[in-house]
Amino acid sequence: MAVHVVNEAKRCLNCKKPMCREGCPINTPIPQMIQAFLSNDINGAGAMLFENNPLSIVCSLVCDHEKQCEGHCVLGRKGSPVQISSIENYISDSYFDRMVIDREPCNGMKAAIIGGGPAGITIAVELARKGYGVTIFDTKEKIGGVLQYGIPEFRLPKSILKRYQKKLKEIGIHFRPNTSIGGAITIDDLFRDGYSSVFIGTGVWRPKTLGIKGESLGNVHFAINYLNSPDNYDLGESVAVIGAGNSAMDVARTAIRHGAREVTMFSIEPTPRASVREVEYAQIDGVNIICSKGAVEITEEGPIMTDVTITEDGRFVYGENREFYKADSTIIAISQGPKDKIVSTTGGIQTQRGGLVSTDQGGMTTRPGVFASGDVVAGAKTVVEAVAHSKEVAEAMHQYMQTLKAE
């Protein structure tokens, strides 16, 4: 591993205008990080990464690198790009446990973070660095949100999240598991108890439905529910997956690892929406992908599909044919939307189409002091996009609370 990473690092041209950095949603200082690594300063390289991206070690594993940093590497134009993800992972993993996060003196103000996913962790770290008292509230028992309950172990080892929880504790961040805000505790209660601002980063956990007959059958499941606890499902030997995004690929590959012998995936588009790399891995694992097919009904014996074409203006046109595909279980993987528990129990927070929370550019909702970012604002996006926006929101929260302090 180390020899491979060093060789890859030596291939970096240290471009004056690094296209790899422009391709990264969080603008990681890739050439500088690589040069520090090659100069035997792995601690300096690691510090660069985590200062820029608190979830560097996670993003090194789950980012869509072929479209982002590696996809913009100039060496990829005529050959193979530098495997930046492998270099970042090696540095981040080596540095993480020895990392000391500098924290300003306690300023006496508190911030509540609702949701311990990528956005929530980012906000928590950024505010703790600035001296705020931070508590993360999460409905689940473990920290990580979609990282813990939506990405399979084979893509993101959960031991990494245990290390994160330990690191958060080291800098004074409190974690309240199994605590649903909007139930016994409301946002009003948080303000009552002295929190100066509240952040909503609850993600998108409500499955989107097809709206067709058969979705309530006993052998039909939704992707986000299955990925939450795959050990609790007995899918049988043959599984149909409706949808072809990255989440659908995770479902299909997880099903195979849990005993399914035949997994067939249906993409409504001519090519799957998932990244090329994830599609390739799924096919290597044995997933059969059928494109330009849409579901019209689900039966206890399997889904009924039809041919689908796309018009010039992007509309899907379903054919008249009906094709039955036998499957012991069917999993629907066509994205998720936000739950409305917090919004429905809190006055003054407006939502937009689909139930996503409305915010200004700084992440503040229509209720003063309440901020939001991540998937609950933008819909299902990538981890690195959530981190990048959340860093901006953390700064807006800081400025807001400093204004309160000055009053």
- Predicted pLDDT at 11: 95
- Per-residue tokens: 342: 């917090």
- Predicted pLDDT at 198: 96
- Predicted pLDDT at 272: 95
Give the confidence band of 179 by pLDDT, cuts at 50, 70, 90: very high
- Per-residue tokens: 135: 């508590």
- Is residue 52 pLDDT above 70, yes or no? yes
Kindly report the CATH class assigned to 110-205+345-406.
alpha beta
Token match 């306690």: residue?
A: 106
Q: Is 280 helix (H, G, I), strand (E, B) or coil?
A: helix
Sign of the dihedral defined by the CA atoms of residues 139, 140, 141, 146, in that order: negative
DSSP characters over 62-100: HS-TTTTHHHH-GGGGTSPPP-HHHHHHHHHHHHHTT--
Beta-carbon contacts of 5 under 8 Å, excluding residues fewer than 6 positions away, are 86, 87, 90
- Is residue 262 pLDDT above 80, yes or no? yes
- Predicted pLDDT at 314: 87
Measured CA to CA, the distance from residue 224 to residue 230 in angstroms comes to 10
pTM given for the model: 0.92
- Predicted pLDDT at 147: 94
Q: Regarding the domain delimited by 208-335, which CATH topology (the fold level of the hierarchy) does it fall under?
A: FAD/NAD(P)-binding domain (3.50.50)
From the centroid of its chain, how far is CA 339? 17
- Is residue 380 pLDDT above 70, yes or no? no
Which is nearest to 152 in space by CA: 17, 2, 253, 303? 253
CA distances from 264 to 37, 241, 261, 291, 336 (A): 43, 6, 10, 11, 21
Segment among 203-212, 348-357, 358-367 with least mean pLDDT: 348-357
How far from each other are the two terminal CA atoms of the chain, in whole angstroms?
A: 55
How confident is the model over 248-253, as a mean pLDDT?
Answer: 96
The answer to whether the 2-96 and 208-335 domains have the same CATH topology is: no
Phi and psi at residue 355, to the nearest 5°: 85, 5
Q: Is 140 helix (H, G, I), strand (E, B) or coil?
A: coil
Measured CA to CA, the distance from residue 72 to residue 89 in angstroms comes to 18
Domain ranges of the chain: 2-96, 110-205+345-406, 208-335
Give the confidence band of 338 by pLDDT, cuts at 50, 70, 90: low
Q: Max alpha carbon distance in the chain (Å)?
A: 68
- Predicted pLDDT at 336: 73
Is residue 252 within 8 Å of residue 239, measured between CB atoms?
Answer: yes
How confident is the model over 200-220, as a mean pLDDT?
Answer: 90
- Per-residue tokens: 338: 């936000």
How confident is the model over 217-238, as a mean pLDDT?
Answer: 96
Type of residue at 195: Y
- Is residue 2 pLDDT above 60, yes or no? no
- Predicted pLDDT at 229: 93
Is residue 161 within 8 Å of residue 147, measured between CB atoms?
Answer: yes
Report the 3 state secondary structure along 176-232.
Answer: ECCCCECCCECHHHHHHCCEEEEEECCCCCEECCCCCECCCCCCEEEHHHHHHCHHH
- Predicted pLDDT at 203: 77
- Per-residue tokens: 179: 């605590």
Which is nearest to 293 in space by CA: 249, 244, 338? 244
- Is residue 1 pLDDT above 50, yes or no? no
How confident is the model over 98-120, as a mean pLDDT?
Answer: 94
- Predicted pLDDT at 340: 58
Say what percent of the chain tops pLDDT 70: 96
How confident is the model over 49-60, as a mean pLDDT?
Answer: 96
Tens of pLDDT, residue by residue over 76-89, are 999 999 999 999 99
- Is residue 274 pLDDT above 50, yes or no? yes
Give the confidence band of 63 by pLDDT, cuts at 50, 70, 90: very high
| Architecture in CATH for domain 2-96 | Orthogonal Bundle (1.10)
pLDDT, the chain, mean: 92
Strand pairing class (238-242; 262-267): parallel
Angle at 285 between CA 282 and CA 288, to 5 degrees: 60
